[in-house]
Structure 1
Amino acid sequence: MSDLPRKAVTRTAKLAALPLGFAGRTAWGLGKRIGGKSAEIVGRELQQRTAEQLFKVLGELKGGAMKFGQALSVFESALPEEMAGPYRAALTKLQEAAPPMPTSTVHGVLAERLGADWRELFLEFADKPSAAASIGQVHRAVWHDGRAVAVKVQYPGAGEALLSDLNQLGRFARLLGPLIPGMDIKPLITELRDRVSEELDYELEARAQREHAAEFADDPDVVVPDVVHQSDQVLVTEWMDGTPLADIIADGTQEQRDRAGQLLARFLFSGPARTGLLHADPHPGNFRLLPADPEAGPDTDAGPDTDAGPDTDPEAGPDAEADGAGGWRLGVLDFGTVDRLPGGLPDTIGDALRLTLEGDAVAVYEMLRREGFVKEDIDLDPGAVLDYLVPIIEPALAEEFTFTRGWLRQQAGRIADVRSPAHQLGKQLNLPPAYLLIHRVTLSTIGVLCQLGATVRLRDELEEWLPGFVAEEFKAQETVTEQAGAE
């Protein structure tokens, strides 16, 4: 492969092969069953073959096809277990790797964007990429001042490929829907397409990453590598080693799973409050678990900013030692997709959560109607709306909650079952555009928490960071109590 496949006809043909392939394998399975194989064995073989083709096509095409695959990968927890295995293996690969572009292409981009003498900027530069992602790949290098850095190089033609893929996938949305039961694929593809221009703009990405790096510079729990240099199609950031979250999901200890889950929830809700930005690409490839190191901040072995993530220190696997559960830190990568929320997350989310937990069906319904979640020409029973919401927000009700694939499958099944009241009611609800990205990020984060099987004190993070979740009168009373105690 000399470059990212850019001809529209070539990419369209490859993507068109996906739904055709699914149909072909169904016919093949029927033939096998007639020949005497059990439905269970045939079903397993079908899923394996489908998963293999999915990874092969999406991985080769990169661009929007791979971005779509990465977005789907965090929802594999919602699949029935007999289907989840093959897809889990194939889709997880998309979080960490894809076929790389040739060295000559990489050197050409660096010469064009950094100048013919680009090698003088580096003491070392590894031609073999440490990660290949949807719109760019990462190379490990040593900057001229001795810092270990990650160099993200954008694929030539990435923008054209992204739009082409997402437009084509949009046409196949109905056929791709069965990949994730209970999930509407079309809005996901539309939302990904709307974010293309931002993700291709490395100047915007560098700005968002710098803001996060500055805010979290002295944070004991979250590490964000700083930006070293940025130009069109090339982004150089500090390198960050650590254990990818995908490895923790596969082999991590329960202590690591719980700590990673807690910090992931903390970053999701604290990020907008502290920076006015929501990190909007929460798949496991964008996070690392780092041992505590009181002597070193983000500058030590700091890292890349990519939607797939680098190779990790071969000496540090999921069982690397840390000073107890509290010793692990969360490394965060890839700020190419962010939602700009100058006031933090909307108060409406916290207010609605609080009122739902309090069981105030009428107040919740009025708020949802006011914000556009229930359209003016729709009339719903407030009690039924409350019944629909309560199981979904169960994690916020408990002091601590264990996220599991089984729980997520139960929620997905409840909403996907056309015979259930939840399905009928869900069809009548609306998601206002301003909440689209927040909704996707929240669902994706829950998907990752379920992959981790983490026990998380979610309510603690909501009380600390989510506006509106704690009633104002209660906050005022807390302030008075604290002041009285200080006196």
Structure 2
Amino acid sequence: MADDERNRFSARAARYARVGANVGGVAARIAGSRLMGIDRGAGNAAALASALGGLKGPLMKVAQLMATIPDVLPPEYAAELQKLQCDAPPMGWAFVRRRMMAELGRDWEARFASFEHKPSAAASLGQVHKAVTLDGETVACKLQYPDMQAAVEADLAQLDILFSLHRRMDGAIDTREIAREIGERVREELDYRREACHAALYAHMLGQEPRVRVPSVRADLSTGRLLTMQWLEGERLLRFTEHGLDERNAIAQAMFAAWWLPFSHFGVIHGDPHLGNYTVFTADDGRPAGINLLDYGCIRIFPPRFVAGVVDLYRGLMSGDDARVVHAYETWGFKGLKRELIDVLNIWAGFIYGPLMDDRVRTIADGVAPGQYGRKEAFQVHTALKELGPVTVPREFVFMDRAAIGLGAVFLHLKAELNFNRLFEDAIADFDAHLVAERQSGALARAGL
């Protein structure tokens, strides 16, 4: 092992040990506070966020993810974790050159007409460089930071501490399945070959949808830790929040199509609602024409039975058919469905499905700020579950719920006014679970998944 690599390994090991000790110390402090009957929620939450902040990168992604799933954590903890930022500094040019050499060989620079030294974006697991290929195509090269597999495993170990702490503090929700689901998805994000397959999957699923652009992948310039895709020009979505209503609605409709069509027809969702994963492309007159879907690391593929449960719950709520509602929950994997628990689950279902059941033009949540979307309903659910819990949340529910919240937040940012009922009815028209299974099987095989 070279000296610089040995030094990095030693520094990383020391950092993990330090953060682990800090998290353990905060856990002991919280346990002591509760034993003494002292409520120090906000102070303990800030201390835990500070301890976790010693590890940048993957854990920040996980912590922010948890904060977007209402009531997985107490409100004061969610508020603190939302402040954490993925602020790992980008790799310098000398380091990038070594990493690119490791992925494409010593002559890697000769395989590009140009390659920008400064990254155009830096994220929790890697950074993106704009480049031009020898055949003249402008591309985005996403290069994974070194040592990410070890970093992810260390961070997930800290996540286990956080979840076990939550179970001791509050037994309303059993978070073990949530932890398993998050761990599996985050590990998948390390595999850029899989992400390339996800991009191919979306290109197939949305091939007939002109409002959503999916970048093509350059397999000849990609590896398991380097993903080279077509560069899609676009503007940040938040730049359009003060544009006219028609323009904002056009963007929202494209977002709805990008999310609901793959799910309702193929059982696939884009599980990362981060606004940085979308840009808006415009027509010749400068008006929004659709969205570019840029990142494919966090994709959730559901069994067709789960999609059927989503449709059954909607139909059951619309018609007041309790038997169909219960069947939907059972299909998702909820167990021990007594009347009291069904009523509690219906509070959350009413929030998620409310705009879809309302046949009129409206905002996604009248009078609610983006950062508060779902919080009131989550509090109601949590309060009720304290009397009934612990309730195990099925793992497949985690990213479905998170993505729905994220999509709703986008609609709130855009202040879109749409008939969500009509959009949803169009998406599930002639729904057939067997057809979803057939489409999904063909699409996955085609994408190499």
Same fold (TM over 0.5): yes
For 1:358, the aligned partner's letter is S
- Partner residue, 2:326: 365
In structure 2, distance between residues paired with 1:74 and 1:209: 24
- Partner residue, 2:63: 69
In structure 1, distance between residues paired with 2:72 and 2:179: 18
Report the aligned-residue RMSD: 4.3
User: Which deviations, in whole Å up to 9, do the C-alpha atoms of 1:12-68 show, x marking residues without a partner?
Assistant: 42365468679999xxxxxxxxxxxxxxxxx99x7997799589545xx212x1221
Asked if the contact 1:242/1:289 (under 8 Å) is kept, the reply is: yes
- Judged with a 3 Å threshold, the aligned counterparts in structure 2 of structure 1 residues 133 and 387 are, in CA distance, closer, same or farther, namely closer
- Judged with a 3 Å threshold, the aligned counterparts in structure 2 of structure 1 residues 277 and 187 are, in CA distance, closer, same or farther, namely same
- More off after superposition, 213-222 vs 283-292: 213-222
Aligned residue for 1:192, secondary structure, equals: helix
For 1:357, the aligned partner's letter is M
User: Which deviations, in whole Å up to 9, do the C-alpha atoms of 1:220-256 show, x marking residues without a partner?
Assistant: 21111111232121110011232334x349x644635
In structure 2, distance between residues paired with 1:167 and 1:62: 14
In structure 2, distance between residues paired with 1:55 and 1:386: 32
Asked if the contact 1:151/1:237 (under 8 Å) is kept, the reply is: yes
Q: List gaps (5 residues or longer) in structure 1.
A: 26-42, 294-320, 472-487
In structure 1, distance between residues paired with 2:157 and 2:333: 27
For the pair 1:410 / 2:376, whether they are aligned, the reply is: yes
For the pair 1:398 / 2:358, whether they are aligned, the reply is: yes
1:125 Cα deviation after fit: 1.0
In structure 2, distance between residues paired with 1:9 and 1:176: 26
User: Which deviations, in whole Å up to 9, do the C-alpha atoms of 1:282-331 show, x marking residues without a partner?
Assistant: 221211122235xxxxxxxxxxxxxxxxxxxxxxxxxxx743xxx33111
User: Which deviations, in whole Å up to 9, do the C-alpha atoms of 1:328-384 show, x marking residues without a partner?
Assistant: 311112112222347596212101111112212233224434653233xx5325873
Aligned pairs (5 A) from 1:226-265: 226-229=216-219, 230-245=222-237, 247-248=238-239, 252-253=242-243, 255=245, 257-265=248-256
- Partner residue, 1:30: none
1:152 Cα deviation after fit: 0.7
Aligned residue for 1:129, secondary structure, equals: coil
Aligned residue for 2:189, secondary structure, equals: helix
Asked if the contact 2:101/2:107 (under 8 Å) is kept, the reply is: yes
For 2:298, the aligned partner's letter is T
Percent of aligned pairs with the same residue?
A: 27
User: Which deviations, in whole Å up to 9, do the C-alpha atoms of 1:379-408 show, x marking residues without a partner?
Assistant: 325873575333442122213343333552
- Judged with a 3 Å threshold, the aligned counterparts in structure 2 of structure 1 residues 266 and 80 are, in CA distance, closer, same or farther, namely farther
- Judged with a 3 Å threshold, the aligned counterparts in structure 2 of structure 1 residues 433 and 458 are, in CA distance, closer, same or farther, namely same
- Partner residue, 1:138: 128
- Judged with a 3 Å threshold, the aligned counterparts in structure 2 of structure 1 residues 391 and 73 are, in CA distance, closer, same or farther, namely closer
In structure 2, distance between residues paired with 1:335 and 1:194: 15
For the pair 1:462 / 2:420, whether they are aligned, the reply is: no
1:151 Cα deviation after fit: 0.5
- Partner residue, 1:267: 258
2:16 to 11, 17, 20: 11
1:117 Cα deviation after fit: 0.5
Aligned residue for 1:328, secondary structure, equals: strand
User: Which deviations, in whole Å up to 9, do the C-alpha atoms of 1:111-158 show, x marking residues without a partner?
Assistant: 111111000111111122121222221111111112211101111211
For the pair 1:285 / 2:280, whether they are aligned, the reply is: no
Aligned residues: 410
Aligned pairs (5 A) from 1:411-426: 411-417=377-383, 420=384, 424=387
Asked if the contact 2:309/2:327 (under 8 Å) is kept, the reply is: no
Q: List gaps (5 residues or longer) in structure 2.
A: 31-40, 434-449
Q: What TM-score, normalized to structure 2?
A: 0.75
In structure 1, distance between residues paired with 2:345 and 2:322: 6
For the pair 1:193 / 2:183, whether they are aligned, the reply is: yes
Q: What TM-score, normalized to structure 1?
A: 0.69
Aligned pairs (5 A) from 1:65-464: 65-72=59-66, 74=68, 90-91=83-84, 93-94=85-86, 98-173=88-163, 187-217=177-207, 219-229=209-219, 230-245=222-237, 247-248=238-239, 252-253=242-243, 255=245, 257-273=248-264, 277-293=268-284, 322-323=286-287, 327-341=288-302, 343=304, 346-369=307-330, 372-375=333-336, 378-381=337-340, 384=343, 387-388=346-347, 389-399=349-359, 400-403=362-365, 404-405=368-369, 406=372, 408-417=374-383, 420=384, 424=387, 427=389, 429-464=391-426
For 1:265, the aligned partner's letter is F
- Judged with a 3 Å threshold, the aligned counterparts in structure 2 of structure 1 residues 117 and 164 are, in CA distance, closer, same or farther, namely same
Asked if the contact 2:174/2:390 (under 8 Å) is kept, the reply is: no
- Partner residue, 1:40: none
Asked if the contact 1:199/1:205 (under 8 Å) is kept, the reply is: yes
Asked if the contact 1:287/1:331 (under 8 Å) is kept, the reply is: yes
1:187 Cα deviation after fit: 4.7
Asked if the contact 1:141/1:149 (under 8 Å) is kept, the reply is: yes
Aligned residue for 2:339, secondary structure, equals: coil
